[in-house]
């Protein structure tokens, strides 16, 4: 019997993360992801994903220094960014520029230093392109800021509020890794051929660009913008359900219960909601949608997924919609690279297909 789409087929052993959709569990190397999002920074969790342990204070200083050193882009990458057509999407730009980084320093086998370099450079690529398209002065990375704060600084030209940094950093931690999803699988397939890390990451980026994988938060934002106010939420949602319109940010292919990432982001949003209109609207809208889903579709288990609160968080920190998927990539780069390094010791991924075409006449 064939499992179309490889659903329920195990393609690799991994020690990086564990996803249990039935129980709503997400584990990063023996730690609950939701706890890491509350108590640890993106860099600390990146160290955990790559090296298998949270860093000591001394190790963290050393690790952070590597990140900071790798944030700057080579001059030839600036030249490429300057000539790319304006109608290329941000994801197309990222894919092209990451591919252009594939010099001899990224030869097989993949290493942690290579992973740090790609991860550190991606926010700089995004910010450079963002300002270039708008005719603004390029904002260079700072050495005294952590990953999420530096990303917001490069986009806005000024330091973000502590609440905004905390919200984005928590989002980054919760999307840093998520098992054998489509983009991770694409990267691992390439890595299993013993190709270089840049080739593997380029494949992962191509998969993430697809709207079925990385584009959902922007659709949630469009929904929240259409609702507009808390007073309009129930009317809008009822109308949408009666017309059969899909409510974005609810239901998940893997999680059959509450998405643990959504739970963690909701907790953070609730702490910050009084200071931000969009987080406040999102919390209220979620309550309305869950209540009306029970009324209109009592036989379906549709829970809030991570995309719903991801959209609210990214809207609250001031990110434009075209930055949502690239920001996702800036966090997931850690998970992708970890899987590619792990895949070095795995077998070549070589699945089979079932032929359903015509056969020639028997000779």
Q: Which residues, listed in sequence order, are joined to residue 304 by a DSSP beta bridge?
A: 250
Which residue among the candidates 44, 286, 307, 342 is catalytic per the annotation?
Answer: 307
Domain count, the chain: 2
Query: 181: helix, coil or strand?
Result: coil
Q: What is the CATH number of the domain that holds 71?
A: 1.10.580.10
- Domain assignment present for 112: yes
For this structure, is 307 an active site residue? yes
- Domain assignment present for 10: no
d(CA 71, CA 331): 15
Look over the chain and give the mean of its residue pLDDT values, rounded to a whole number: 91
- Domain assignment present for 115: yes
Of the listed ranges 52-66, 167-181, 245-259, 285-299, the least confidently predicted one is 245-259
For residue 358, is pLDDT > 80? yes
- Domain assignment present for 11: no
Do both 240 and 341 map to the same domain? no
Do both 335 and 306 map to the same domain? no
d(CA 137, CA 9): 49
- pTM for this one? 0.90
Do both 200 and 222 map to the same domain? no
Rounded alpha-carbon distances, angstroms, from residue 65 to 55, 61, 87, 118, 298: 13, 6, 36, 15, 53
- Domain assignment present for 356: no
- Domain assignment present for 3: no
Which residue among the candidates 40, 47, 178, 252 is catalytic per the annotation?
Answer: 252
Q: What was the pLDDT predicted at 138?
A: 97
- Domain assignment present for 350: no
The string over 28-59, giving b where at least 16 C-beta atoms fall within 10 Å of a residue's C-beta and e elsewhere, is bbebebbebbeebbbbbbbbbbbeeebbeeee
Q: What was the pLDDT predicted at 334?
A: 98
Do both 38 and 131 map to the same domain? yes
Do both 99 and 24 map to the same domain? yes
Do both 282 and 226 map to the same domain? yes
Task: Check the CA dihedral 76-82-84-89 and report its sign.
Answer: positive
Domain that holds residue 252: 216-316
Do both 120 and 224 map to the same domain? no
Rounded alpha-carbon distances, angstroms, from residue 301 to 144, 243, 282, 290, 311: 45, 20, 20, 10, 22
Do both 172 and 303 map to the same domain? no
Residue-wise pLDDT for 100-139, tens only, equals 999 989 999 999 999 999 999 999 999 999 999 999 999 9
Q: Do the Cβ atoms of 55 and 44 come closer than 8 Å? A: yes
Q: Which residue has the tokens 């690239």?
A: 326
Do both 221 and 333 map to the same domain? no
- Domain assignment present for 159: yes
Rounded alpha-carbon distances, angstroms, from residue 362 to 312, 354, 356, 359: 61, 20, 17, 8
For residue 255, is pLDDT > 60? no
Return the ∠ at Cα 50 (arms to 318 and 121), rounded to 5°: 45
Do both 184 and 247 map to the same domain? no
Do both 151 and 89 map to the same domain? yes
């Amino acid at each position: 019997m064939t499992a179309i789409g490889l659903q329920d087929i195990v393609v690799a052993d991994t020690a990086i993360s564990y996803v249990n959709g039935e129980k709503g569990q997400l584990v990063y190397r023996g730690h609950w992801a939701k706890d890491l999002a509350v108590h640890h920074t993106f860099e600390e969790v990146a160290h955990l994903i790559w090296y298998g342990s949270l860093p000591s204070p001394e190790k963290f200083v050393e690790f952070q220094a590597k990140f900071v050193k790798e944030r700057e882009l080579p001059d030839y990458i600036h030249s490429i960014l300057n000539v790319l057509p304006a109608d290329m999407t941000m994801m197309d730009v990222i894919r092209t520029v990451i591919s252009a980084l594939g010099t001899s320093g990224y030869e097989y086998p993949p290493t942690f230093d290579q992973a740090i370099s790609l991860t550190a450079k991606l926010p700089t690529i995004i910010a450079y392109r963002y300002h270039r398209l708008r005719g603004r002065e390029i904002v260079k990375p700072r050495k005294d800021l952590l990953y999420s704060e530096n990303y917001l600084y490069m986009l806005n030209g000024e330091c973000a509020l502590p609440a905004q940094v905390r919200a984005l950093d928590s989002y980054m931690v919760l999307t840093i890794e998520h098992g054998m999803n489509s983009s991770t699988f694409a990267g691992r397939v390439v890595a299993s051929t013993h190709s270089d890390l840049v080739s593997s990451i380029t494949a992962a980026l191509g998969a993430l660009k697809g709207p079925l994988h990385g584009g959902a938060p922007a659709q949630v934002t469009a929904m929240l913008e259409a609702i507009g106010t808390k007073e309009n939420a129930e009317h809008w949602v009822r109308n949408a359900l009666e017309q059969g319109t899909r409510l974005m940010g609810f239901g998940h292919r893997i999680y059959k219960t509450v998405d643990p990432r959504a739970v963690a982001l909701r907790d953070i949003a609730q702490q910050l909601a009084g200071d931000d209109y969009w987080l406040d609207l999102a919390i209220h809208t979620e309550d309305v949608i869950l209540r009306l889903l029970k009324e209109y579709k009592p036989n379906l288990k549709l829970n809030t997924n991570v995309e719903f609160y991801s959209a609210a968080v990214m809207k609250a920190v001031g990110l434009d919609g075209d930055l949502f998927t690239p920001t996702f990539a800036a966090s997931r780069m850690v998970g992708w690279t970890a899987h590619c390094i792990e895949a070095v010791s795995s077998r070549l991924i070589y699945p089979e297909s079932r032929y359903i075409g015509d056969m020639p006449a028997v000779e």
